[in-house]
Amino acid sequence: MKTQDKVKINKLPTGVPGLDEIVGGGLPEFSFNIIAGAPGSGKTTLAHQFVFANASEERPALYFTVLGESAIKMLRYQQQYTFFDPAKLPRSIRFINLSQVVLEKDLGAVLEQVTKEVEKSNPAVVVVDSFRTMVRKPESDMDLQSFIQRLALFLASWQATTFLIGEYAEEELRDNPIFTVADGLFWLRQTAERNSIVRKLQVIKLRGQDSVPGLHTFRITDAGVQAFSRTFGLTARKRNPPSNRRLSFGIAELDKMLDGGVREGDSVLIAGSSGTGKSVLATQFIAEGIRHGEPGIVAVFEERPEAYAERATSLGLDLETPQKDGKLTILYLRPLDLSVDETMQSILDAVEKIGAKRLVIDSLAGFEMALSPGFRADFRESLYRMIFALTGIGVTILSTVEVDESFTEFPFSTYSISFLTDDIIRLRYVSIDGQLRKIMVVIKMRGGNHAKDIREYEITSKGVVILGKRLANYQGLISGIPVRVDRPNSAEEPSQDTGIEHKT
């Protein structure tokens, strides 16, 4: 069938930030949906957000309450959310209590009552809360399956988009006829993991639309439910072709080691133990970008933005002015109970807002610690998704990671995340001539050439300064306890050698 011959399904805004992306752009108009989940999982709040986003006086929403939470208490609590607009009641949103007919009569009478109200109001949206209590009577004259079938047919024919809310258990998915009839099935889960509550949303089924599969984190705040798509809303964005442009660190010698700088759109990892200057390098990287008119984001977890900017000032780098000019955002993502996806969403929002070209995550260890324990298991996967999404649109990401210094091995990262980085720069302490000195080496540059030199550096009032030539007179530098060796002068001072290994 040609595209122009297909029926166009209108997509309605869900009113839930992040959910439109998850359901493929909005909820299909006239669809018959179930919101299932345990008590307190946010079902009613989600339905209210949809209702407030779509109801109008011309096409109102009918909200049928049955047994359970009374409408008065429901509204008492729901009006605390910022999306709640009391002016919409009762002309645009009508609450109708069906308790009596449910308690005293059978499903046929319930259907009759729903039919009467729908025909009277011509609603765009119908919600039944809770549907579970509506069909609780097994001795009903009308067969449950027939009731559901007729209700779904009637509401679709009357051009209503419907939500049935119910406290269902996942075991019921197989046998309950409601799940067969439904066009959309939204499952909300909340689990306690150690001391934290982890909320996840899954679109188990959504007819006619390409929804994002998997479990999506969501949070309930004073703005209601906010969902965080696993794809961070970047699925529709076209990936930029790989760039050959090089981004400078503002450290000439380091740029040379990187064969001209970091390739635009790369993910760079700076690994080293405490005090080796990871944050200094990261700050120089972001400041250099700003000097070249490339807005930047710094996500910090271990210190406040003021302290971060102050430290930059001590290195002669001004991070205050670009912040005021909207060229730089220092995000302080507070520890405790953050979900990995909402943290990443904050970063993405900031990137989008200022059109950032460079992003610093300082540090991955701090990032992980800021997450609630239940989300730490997903850290690497989520980080991968974010890096993939951001680098795809041309943002260059520099992450720092602290590694335990060992004198028997040379780890790049304790996170096993080198697979998601294009370039790795390793910093470490070495013991030379009775001093604890610092060395750096470029471990890898994906798709590019880089120096294989091990270079000594210092952290001065001007930031990281790479000293002299490569340390040619030592063996075992990466062990941290090198041994001095005598070499001919030519090898000791490779004056013309940039140390670049040219790949063929």
Partner 1 sequence: MRDLAYRLLVYEVGAGNASEPSEPPAIRVYEKLRLSLGEFVGVAGFQSLASRALTLARPEVPSLSAAQVAADGSLEGLGDIKAQFDMGKDSATNGEIILIARLLGLLRLFLGEALTLSLLRSTWPGEVFEDRNSLHGRKV
115 binding partner 1? (CB under 8 A): no
**Least CB distance to partner 1 at residue 94 (A):** 8
452 binding partner 1? (CB under 8 A): no
Stretch that binds partner 1, among 70-78, 240-248, 278-286, 299-307 (CB under 8 A): 70-78
192: Cβ contacts below 8 Å, ≥ 6 apart = 198
**Least CB distance to partner 1 at residue 357 (A):** 46
Backbone angles phi, psi at 385, to 5 degrees: -65, -40
Give Rg (Cα) of the chain: 29
Look-up of token digits 């208490």: 73
79: Cβ contacts below 8 Å, ≥ 6 apart = 86
According to CB under 8 A, which one of 100, 490, 495, 504 is a site residue for partner 1? Answer: 100
166-225 positions binding partner 1, by CB under 8 A: none
Angstrom distance (rounded) from CA 205 to CA 185: 5
Backbone angles phi, psi at 283, to 5 degrees: -65, -40
**Least CB distance to partner 1 at residue 197 (A):** 28
According to CB under 8 A, which one of 59, 69, 99, 177 is a site residue for partner 1? Answer: 99
Q: Is the peptide bond before 140 cis (omega within 30 degrees of 0)?
A: no
109 binding partner 1? (CB under 8 A): no
Angstrom distance (rounded) from CA 162 to CA 123: 10
Stretch that binds partner 1, among 44-52, 87-95, 143-151, 220-228 (CB under 8 A): 87-95
82 binding partner 1? (CB under 8 A): no
Which CB sits closer to partner 1, 93 or 297?
93
Angstrom distance (rounded) from CA 228 to CA 338: 12
Which CB sits closer to partner 1, 75 or 395?
75
According to CB under 8 A, which one of 68, 79, 105, 260 is a site residue for partner 1? Answer: 79
First to last CA, the chain: 49
89 binding partner 1? (CB under 8 A): yes
Buried b (16+ CB within 10 A) or exposed e, 398-410: bbbbbbeeeeeeb
**Least CB distance to partner 1 at residue 73 (A):** 7
For 205, the token pair is: 């089924």
Which CB sits closer to partner 1, 89 or 390?
89
According to CB under 8 A, which one of 65, 382, 400, 413 is a site residue for partner 1? Answer: 65
**How is residue 453 annotated by DSSP?**
-
Binding site for partner 1 (CB under 8 A): 65, 70-73, 75-76, 79, 86-91, 94-100
